[in-house]
């Protein structure tokens, strides 16, 4: 038995590293996620999948469908916890993909593992992994796509090439920011030592189209919601005047009702997204993107790691410039959009793939030879990576601290006793998403109709909604609405940032 065990030890060690690259981040992330609803986009994406609703543009159909299955099959814990845990597993998958990329580049397993554990515990990745976000699923799929195209460049069969485009199409259906992977995939196609056949190109294009086909969910589900009366705002008069966000969680933009609503939902034209995308195509922003890459690496890893990653990139380029070029472009192209998109409060969501790229590059900086000097160099690299991972983990301990009834639960609890069932409640997006989660997802705020976005100019519309058994309230920050608008009355102060006004009937 002993000789057999000794012979099996290297294989056990390999499998242990391979599993650890996914299981350690997944366990760390899931243990840190909150069980309470959040606010803002996170609360929306905690609630939309559970009810199979329509989120803000672009609908993120793959995220909604997979998170729906996840939250109903793994039906334990709160709905918010399930959605958060889904994102945790998605980001852990991206970390495992980075590990696989490092191995494809020729890194040793233990060095690749230590590098990706540091990646896993960077504040950017960890902070996004513990909350429900469509970006997290897109990150996992784009990282898998990069791994597949690198595997193909390294001699893999055409199935790896097709898989790269299949993952790319699915990533687009998770979040359209994945579009920035296309330049890297195109470069891989052009510079590879072997050209994909026309048949393989056609198959790959068809797989991308299949992924995009998931966007049919948006108008089809919207039509079903409307025909079955699932949208609680549908019966309110002049609801279209209240704005695109009126039917949050259930039917944002009502994309099946009008062609304009469908275009707003699929393009995000109600924001500055199309203009930012057009602006990002200008080469004038490339230097801004490069600076964002250097600064982001320094922020997440530190200056020494940035130097080591640059050394790793140079060594990777020297060994195989094609693969190094494709990896660099695939993982950094989205930065051009990140530096031009001004309407986003969290641009780090658009930079995560560039953070992922640094781990394989650091692993590539380790010496390869078997002489004493090279072995000593590998030991130093291992110690450096391990220290970085431990330091990053220590800095992230704060993610395990959760206040009782945190996040959006506070506003749900404070509104529940003072706003009776059957009422309409109008709030800004940050609070409206939390309230809609309570009203439509976990039913902790049952019977209320939640409207996102109030405007003093349409108070008459709100007053039109007042009816027997249906009161209408506006939840506002007193700094934004210091006194009751004409046609409303002061109702209740919840705290220094939340005041309720009640609309009077016409």
Other beta carbons less than 10 A from residue 220's beta carbon: 13
Q: Is the pLDDT of residue 105 over 70?
A: yes
Q: Rounded to 5 degrees, what are φ and ψ at 482?
A: -70, -20
Token output for 292? 């964002």
Angle at 91 between CA 89 and CA 95, to 5 degrees: 110
- Rounded to whole angstroms, how far apart are CA atoms 90 and 60? 15
Other beta carbons less than 10 A from residue 485's beta carbon: 17
Closest CA to 138 of 358, 360, 349: 349
Over residues 95-107, the mean pLDDT reads 96
Token output for 498? 């939340």
Q: How many residues belong to the chain?
A: 506
Token output for 4? 């057999």
18-22, 158-162, 276-280, 433-437: least confident range: 276-280
| pLDDT value of residue 6 | 62
- Rounded to whole angstroms, how far apart are CA atoms 289 and 104? 26
63-67, 92-96, 287-291, 406-410: least confident range: 287-291
| pLDDT value of residue 2 | 63
Give pLDDT tens digits for 267-277.
877 776 777 77
Q: Is the pLDDT of residue 5 over 60?
A: no
Q: Is the pLDDT of residue 132 over 60?
A: yes
Over residues 416-424, the mean pLDDT reads 94
Give pLDDT tens digits for 289-314.
889 899 999 999 999 999 999 999 99
Mean per-residue pLDDT of the chain: 91
Over residues 21-43, the mean pLDDT reads 95
Q: Is the pLDDT of residue 433 over 70?
A: yes
H or E element, residue 503: strand 498-503
Give pLDDT tens digits for 328-361.
999 998 888 888 877 666 778 888 999 999 999 9
Q: Is the pLDDT of residue 500 over 70?
A: yes
- Rounded to whole angstroms, how far apart are CA atoms 423 and 438? 14
Distances from the Cα of 261 to the Cαs of 56, 104, 222, 270, 488, in angstroms? 11, 45, 11, 10, 30
Over residues 36-54, the mean pLDDT reads 94
| pLDDT value of residue 51 | 96
**Pairing label, strands 472-476, 424-427:** parallel
| pLDDT value of residue 444 | 94
């Amino acid at each position: 038995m002993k000789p057999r065990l000794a012979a099996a030890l290297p294989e056990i060690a390999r499998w242990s590293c391979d599993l650890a690259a996914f299981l350690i981040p997944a366990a760390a992330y899931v243990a840190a996620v909150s069980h309470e609803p959040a606010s803002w986009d996170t609360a929306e994406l905690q609630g939309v999948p559970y009810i199979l609703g329509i989120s803000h543009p672009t609908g993120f159909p793959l995220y909604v469908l997979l998170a729906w299955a996840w939250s109903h099959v793994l039906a334990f814990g709160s709905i918010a916890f399930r959605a958060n845990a889904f994102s945790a597993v998605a980001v852990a998958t991206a970390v495992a993909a980075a590990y696989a990329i490092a191995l494809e580049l020729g890194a040793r397993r233990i060095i690749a593992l230590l590098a990706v554990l540091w990646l896993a515990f960077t504040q950017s990745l960890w902070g996004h992994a513990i909350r429900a976000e469509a970006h997290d699923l897109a990150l996992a799929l784009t990282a898998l796509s990069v791994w597949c195209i690198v595997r193909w460049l390294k001699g893999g069969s055409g199935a790896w090439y097709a898989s790269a485009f299949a993952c790319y199409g699915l990533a687009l259906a998770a979040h359209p920011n994945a579009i920035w992977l296309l330049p890297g995939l195109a470069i891989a196609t052009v510079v590879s030592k072997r050209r994909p056949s026309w048949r393989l190109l056609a198959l790959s294009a068809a797989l991308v189209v299949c992924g995009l086909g998931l966007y049919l969910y948006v108008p089809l589900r919207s039509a079903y919601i409307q025909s079955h009366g699932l949208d609680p705002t549908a019966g309110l008069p002049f609801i279209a005047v209240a704005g695109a966000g009126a039917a949050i969680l259930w039917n944002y933009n009502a994309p099946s009702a009008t062609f304009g609503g469908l275009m707003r939902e699929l393009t995000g034209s109600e924001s500055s997204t199309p203009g930012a995308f057009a602006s990002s195509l200008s080469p004038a922003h490339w230097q801004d993107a490069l600076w964002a890459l250097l600064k982001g690496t320094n922020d997440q890893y530190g200056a020494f790691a940035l130097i080591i990653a640059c050394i790793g990139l140079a060594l990777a380029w020297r060994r195989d410039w094609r693969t190094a070029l494709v990896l660099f472009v695939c993982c950094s192209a989205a930065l051009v959009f990140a530096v031009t998109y001004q309407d986003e409060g969290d641009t780090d969501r658009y930079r995560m793939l560039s953070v992922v790229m640094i781990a394989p590059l650091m692993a590539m900086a380790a010496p390869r030879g078997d002489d004493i000097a090279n072995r000593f160099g590998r030991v130093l690299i291992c110690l450096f990576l391990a220290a970085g991972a431990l330091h990053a983990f220590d800095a992230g301990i704060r993610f395990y601290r959760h206040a009782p009834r945190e996040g959006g639960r506070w506003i749900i609890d404070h509104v529940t006793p003072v706003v009776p069932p059957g009422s309409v409640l109008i709030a800004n997006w940050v609070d409206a998403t939390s309230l809609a989660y309570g009203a439509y997802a976990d039913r902790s705020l049952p019977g209320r109709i939640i409207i996102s976005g109030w405007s003093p100019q349409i108070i008459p519309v709100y007053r039109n909604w007042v009816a027997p058994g249906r009161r209408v309230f506006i939840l506002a920050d007193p700094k934004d609405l210091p006194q009751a608008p004409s046609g409303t009355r002061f109702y209740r102060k919840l705290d220094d940032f939340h005041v309720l006004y009640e609309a009077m009937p016409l």
